[in-house]
């Protein structure tokens, strides 16, 4: 039986012939898949139906219909049809075929279609040998290849051919192919009584990986493994399907929960720095037939979202793994993916970039858009300061007005260096800056921090304060209850009172020298009002002065502190005079957001430094 005769004859079902051969589509109506080129409006379908075939290359994975299309063209076309297999044919056979085609055209004006299976196997000389015949229309070339023709086929030959890419068959396509084989009584298994379980069908579909031939081979082998029951019915079970495809079933439906649960476990294992769990879920996805590109995309996202600038190389390696795995393909791609996964899993972690862009997007979506500063606009930049002209290639200027801190580098990996550099740049210009200017700068910086961030940072500071040994041992504590742009101490006051500590707050006596005093606090909500400089003070009628010599701790949130404990805040004069009158046994504790601890604060002999500074990141 030669190639031309096969599709035109109605052969009887022969159990000795492979089911995949028996069920080969004979017409376009029977052909399954490739709707993009063989649908009702598909360009290749029209060319076949109208006998207008030009030289073309059919490119795609095995079992997607390349050779079947050649059979159909052989059945429909009015041209003579010759077939060559690039694996077994040489240049002499090509020349012989072309000479026959030339004689056929000159004598009887009959066109010749030359089908070359696995054309990528031809070397450059063999491909060049086809060129004159294709260029002079002696033959119409149809090449089939599993390799990308843009890499495997010579450019001159490729430029004279139309390339059609065949895609892996969809799950629905495979299901239809299996269904047709089970129903067809002439060429398929329709004469047998087969009851196939849905799990067995899904397993064969998944393991076929878009290959129709592989699906029919598995179906045929599974049926041969089955034994009819007393009623003559072959029960095609999941166990038979596993044996037929040589692969155990893994619960992993690409469109249902197991798929998303596995992907979620995979990502969270990398985020959680567990390389063993990460490799296990990677192995499950590979074994279940997951698209390597899907896996690689998850790795790339994790590299940026969860590692970020803590290790900038993670994203570079993940992106390289994406490209390399697509180029190499499975099974070797598993090695590339595993390298990327273990690197991401063991890298230091930071989600600062991820959080930063989400905060910025929220502001862009929900707030009025900021105006671009005039000095940054095209053609209006006469006041623009060119950063490279300054020390450290940095100069302070406005790049966007009144923004909060979107990007907050962590202490992890390389990001710690980034944080140190940013702090150095932002603090470097504050050296020897007058107090009032420095105070203004820090207030402006604080005001760019959102209230949600204030609450989060203040809660962390409270935890660190309460962990201090001196706080646990203290009996009497005075808290400044500061303004909205300072560390929030209200919860600290309330929890300290619940602990049984004697809590007081400061107030300024308006008579005489306007001295600061401490008042015992009984009821936070009823007793306090907004007093001097925005801090909460007791009402005059509720003043209950406390002996300052009994204070164990004084807790002060300030605008900013330096690393020696010097403070810039509001009402500094009252603050300093008051502290000089307090017994030296009281420990002075300053509270500040991490960015408010700067290198140096200008001070003089009258300033009284605090002894401990507590921030959200360090003490």
Q: Say what the alpha-carbon torsion angle 535, 538, 544, 549 is, to the nearest 10 degrees.
A: 0
pLDDT at 571: 58
401 pLDDT higher than 80: no
| Digit-coded pLDDT (tens) for 577-604 | 777 777 677 899 989 888 788 777 777 6
Helix (H) or strand (E) run with residue 115 in it = strand 112-117
Q: Percent of the chain having pLDDT more than 90?
A: 20
190-204, 226-240, 574-588: least confidently modelled range? 574-588
Percent of the chain with pLDDT over 70: 89
Tell me how far apart the alpha carbons of residues 54 and 161 are, in angstroms, rounded to a whole number.
7
3-state secondary structure 41-96: CCHHHHHHHCCCCCCEEEECCCCCCHHHHHHHHHHHCCCEEEEEECCCCCHHHHHH
Domain 451-614 sits in CATH at 3.40.50.10420
Among 3.40.630.10, 3.40.50.920, 2.60.120.10, 3.40.50.300, name the CATH number for the domain at 34-165.
3.40.50.300
User: What is the model's pLDDT at position 150?
Assistant: 82
Do the domains spanning 34-165 and 451-614 agree at the CATH topology level?
yes
- State which CATH number among 2.60.320.10, 3.10.50.40, 1.20.1280.290, 1.10.8.60 fits the domain covering 171-245: 1.10.8.60
Q: What is the DSSP letter of 166?
A: P
Task: Specify the pLDDT at position 255.
Answer: 47
**What distances in angstroms separate CA 544 from CA 242, 482, 521, 539, one per listed residue?**
83, 20, 8, 10
Average pLDDT over the chain reads 82
CATH fold group of domain 257-350: Zinc Finger, Delta Prime; domain 3 (1.20.272)
For residues 270-283, give the mean pLDDT: 89
- pLDDT (tens digit, 9 = 90+) per residue, 98-130? 999 899 888 888 888 888 988 888 888 888 888
* Per-residue pLDDT reduced to its tens digit, 526-557: 777 777 666 777 877 778 888 888 889 999 88
* Out of 277-291, 310-324, 486-500, 601-615, least confident range: 601-615
Cβ neighbours of residue 161 closer than 8 Å, sequence gap 6 or more = 54, 55, 56, 57, 134, 141, 143, 153
**DSSP secondary structure, 494-559, as one string:** HHHHHTT-EEEEEEE--STT--EEEEE-S-HHHHEEE-GGG-EEE-GGG--B--GGG-SEEEEE-S
**Which pLDDT value is given to residue 40?**
87
Each residue's pLDDT tens digit, 334-368: 899 999 999 999 999 999 899 888 888 888 888 77
Predicted confidence (pLDDT) per residue in 11-50, tens digit: 344 557 788 888 989 889 999 999 999 988 889 998 888 8
Burial 32-56 (b: 16+ CB within 10 A, else e): bbbeebbeeebebbebbeeeebebb
Q: In degrees rounded to 5, what are phi and psi of residue 565?
A: 90, 0
- Of 41-55, 171-185, 246-260, 494-508, the range with the lowest mean pLDDT is 246-260
For 481, 504, 555, the CA distances from 586, given in Å and listed in that order, are 18, 13, 10
Kindly report, residue by residue over 149-165, the tens digit of the pLDDT: 887 888 888 888 899 99
Annotated domain spans of the chain: 34-165, 171-245, 257-350, 451-614
Q: What is the pLDDT of residues 453-462, one digit of tens each?
A: 888 888 999 9
Average pLDDT rounded to a whole number, residues 460-488 = 88
- This model's pTM is above 0.95: no
User: What is the C-alpha separation between 548 and 475, in angstroms, rounded?
Assistant: 13
Short-list 93, 111, 94, CA closest to 102: 111
Residue 290 has pLDDT above 70, yes or no: yes
């Amino acid at each position: 039986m030669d190639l031309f005769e096969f599709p035109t004859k109605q052969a009887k079902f022969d159990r000795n012939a492979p089911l995949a051969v028996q069920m080969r589509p004979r017409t376009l109506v029977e052909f399954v898949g490739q709707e993009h080129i063989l649908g009702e409006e598909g360009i290749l379908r029209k060319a076949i139906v109208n006998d207008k075939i030009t030289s073309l290359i059919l490119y795609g994975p095995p079992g997607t219909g390349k050779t079947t299309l050649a059979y159909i063209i052989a059945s429909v076309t009015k041209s003579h049809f010759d077939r060559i297999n690039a694996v077994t044919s040489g240049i002499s056979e090509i020349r012989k075929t072309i000479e026959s085609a030339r004689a056929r055209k000159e004598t009887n004006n009959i066109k010749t279609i030359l089908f070359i299976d696995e054309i990528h196997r031809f070397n450059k000389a063999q491909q060049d040998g086809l060129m004159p015949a294709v260029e002079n229309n002696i033959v119409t070339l149809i090449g089939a290849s599993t390799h990308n023709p843009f890499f495997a086929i010579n450019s001159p030959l490729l430029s004279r051919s139309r390339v059609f890419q065949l895609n892996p068959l969809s799950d629905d396509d495979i299901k239809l192919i299996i269904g047709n084989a089970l129903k067809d009584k002439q060429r398929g298994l329709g004469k047998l009584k087969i009851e196939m379980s849905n799990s067995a069908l899904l397993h064969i579909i998944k393991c076929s990986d878009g290959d129709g031939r592989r699906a029919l081979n598995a179906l045929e082998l599974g049926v041969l493994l089955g034994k009819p029951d007393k009623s003559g019915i072959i029960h095609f079970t999941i166990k038979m399907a596993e044996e037929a495809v040589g692969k155990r079933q893994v619960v992993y439906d690409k469109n249902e929960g197991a798929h998303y649960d596995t992907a979620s476990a995979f990502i969270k294992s990398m985020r959680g720095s567990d390389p063993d769990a990460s490799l296990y879920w990677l192995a499950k996805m590979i074994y279940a037939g997951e698209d390597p590109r899907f896996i690689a995309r998850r790795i790339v996202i994790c590299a940026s979202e969860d590692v970020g600038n803590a290790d900038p190389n993670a994203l570079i390696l993940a992106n390289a793994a994406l490209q390399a795995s697509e180029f190499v393909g499975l099974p070797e791609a598993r090695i590339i993916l595993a390298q990327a996964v273990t690197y991401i899993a063991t890298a230091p972690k930071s989600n600062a970039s991820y959080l930063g862009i989400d905060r910025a997007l929220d502001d862009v979506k929900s707030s009025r858009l900021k105006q671009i500063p005039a000095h940054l606009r095209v053609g209006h930049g006469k006041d623009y300061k060119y950063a490279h002209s300054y020390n450290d290639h940095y100069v302070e200027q406005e790049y966007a007005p009144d923004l909060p801190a979107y990007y907050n580098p962590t202490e992890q990996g390389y990001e710690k260096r980034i944080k140190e550099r940013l702090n150095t740049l932002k603090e470097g210009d504050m050296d020897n800056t007058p107090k009032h200017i420095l105070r203004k700068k820090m207030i402006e910086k604080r005001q760019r921090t959102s209230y949600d961030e204030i609450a989060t940072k203040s809660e962390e500071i409270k935890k660190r304060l309460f962990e201090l040994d001196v706080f646990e041992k203290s009996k009497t504590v005075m808290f400044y209850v500061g303004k909205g742009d300072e560390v929030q101490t209200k919860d600290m006051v309330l929890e300290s009172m619940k602990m049984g500590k004697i809590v007081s707050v400061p107030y300024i006596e308006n008579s005489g020298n306007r001295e600061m005093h401490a008042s015992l606090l009984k009821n936070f909500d009823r007793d306090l009002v907004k007093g001097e400089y925005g801090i909460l003070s007791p009402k005059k009628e509720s003043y209950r002065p406390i002996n300052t010599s009994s204070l164990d701790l004084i807790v002060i949130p300030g605008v900013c502190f330096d690393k020696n404990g010097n403070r810039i805040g509001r009402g500094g004069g009252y603050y300093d005079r008051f502290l000089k009158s307090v017994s030296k046994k009281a420990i002075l504790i300053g509270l500040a957001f991490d960015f408010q601890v700067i290198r140096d604060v200008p001070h003089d002999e009258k300033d009284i430094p605090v002894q401990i500074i507590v921030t959200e990141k360090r003490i």
